[in-house]
Chains A and B, each alone.
Chain A
Amino acid sequence: MSFFEKRHYFKTVFLMGLIVLFGIIIYASTIGVADINFFSSLKIIAERLPVIKNYIPSEEIINSHRIIVWNIRLPRILLAGTVGMGLAIVGVTFQSMFKNPMADPYVLGVSSGAALGATISMVLGLSFINVFAFCGALLTVWLVYLISRVGNKVHNITLLLAGIAMSSMMSSIISVLMIFNRDKIEMIVFWIMGSVSAASWKQVATLLPVTFLGSLLIIYFSRELNLFLVGDESARSLGVETDKVKKILLIISSVIIAFTVAVSGIIGFVGLIIPHGVRILVGPDHRVLTPFSALGGALFLIICDTLARTVIPPTEIPVGAVTAIFGSPYFIYLLYKSKKKVFG
Chain B
Amino acid sequence: MSDHNKHIKITDLDWKYGESTILDNINIEVERGQFYSIIGPNGSGKTTLLKNILKHLEPKKNTIFIDSLDINSLSSKDMAKRMACVPQNTMVDYEFSVLDIVMMGRTPHLKRFETESEKDLNICKEAMEMTDTWRFKDKLIQNLSGGERQRVIVARAIAQQADILLLDEPISHLDIHHQIELLDTVSYLNKKNGITVIVVLHDLNLAAQYSDYIFLLSEGKIFSSGTPKSVINEQSVKEVYKTNVCIIPNPITGNPHVIPISSEERRDFYEAL
In the complex, what distance in Å separates the CA atom of A288 from the CA atom of B138?
Answer: 18
Enumerate B112-164 residues with CB–CB distance to A below 8 Å. Answer: 112, 115-116, 121, 137-138, 140, 143, 160
Task: Decide if B178 is an interface residue (CB 8 Å cutoff).
Answer: no
In the complex, what distance in Å separates the CA atom of A230 from the CA atom of B84?
Answer: 15
B contact residues around A284 at 8 Å (CB): 94-96
Task: Decide if B248 is an interface residue (CB 8 Å cutoff).
Answer: no
A contact residues around B138 at 8 Å (CB): 1-2
In the complex, what distance in Å separates the CA atom of A236 from the CA atom of B56?
Answer: 7
Name the segment of A189-197, A221-229, A250-258 touching the other chain.
Answer: A221-229
Task: Decide if A220 is an interface residue (CB 8 Å cutoff).
Answer: yes
A227-B104 contact, Cβ under 8 Å, with A4-B116, A238-B160, A239-B81: yes
Within the complex, what minimum Cβ distance (angstroms) separates A335 from chain B?
13
Mask of A226-246 contacts with B, CB within 8 angstroms, 1/0: 110111011011111110000
A contact residues around B259 at 8 Å (CB): none
Decide if A238 touches B107 in the complex (CB within 8 Å): yes
A contact residues around B79 at 8 Å (CB): 237, 239
Residue of B nearest to A244 (CB): B76
Among A229, A233, A234, A239, the residue within 8 A (CB) of B94 is A229
Task: Decide if A316 is an interface residue (CB 8 Å cutoff).
Answer: no
In the complex, what distance in Å separates the CA atom of A241 from the CA atom of B105?
Answer: 15
A contact residues around B87 at 8 Å (CB): 231, 233-234, 237
Among A99, A220, A226, A239, the residue within 8 A (CB) of B80 is A239
Decide if B99 touches A2 in the complex (CB within 8 Å): yes
Residue of A nearest to B99 (CB): A2
A2-B100 contact, Cβ under 8 Å, with A227-B107, A231-B87, A238-B160: yes
Which interface residue of B94, B98, B101, B110 has the most chain A CB atoms within 10 A? B94
Decide if A4 touches B99 in the complex (CB within 8 Å): yes
Task: Decide if B217 is an interface residue (CB 8 Å cutoff).
Answer: no
In the complex, what distance in Å separates the CA atom of A242 from the CA atom of B56?
Answer: 10
Task: Decide if A285 is an interface residue (CB 8 Å cutoff).
Answer: yes
In the complex, what distance in Å separates the CA atom of A231 from the CA atom of B77?
Answer: 17
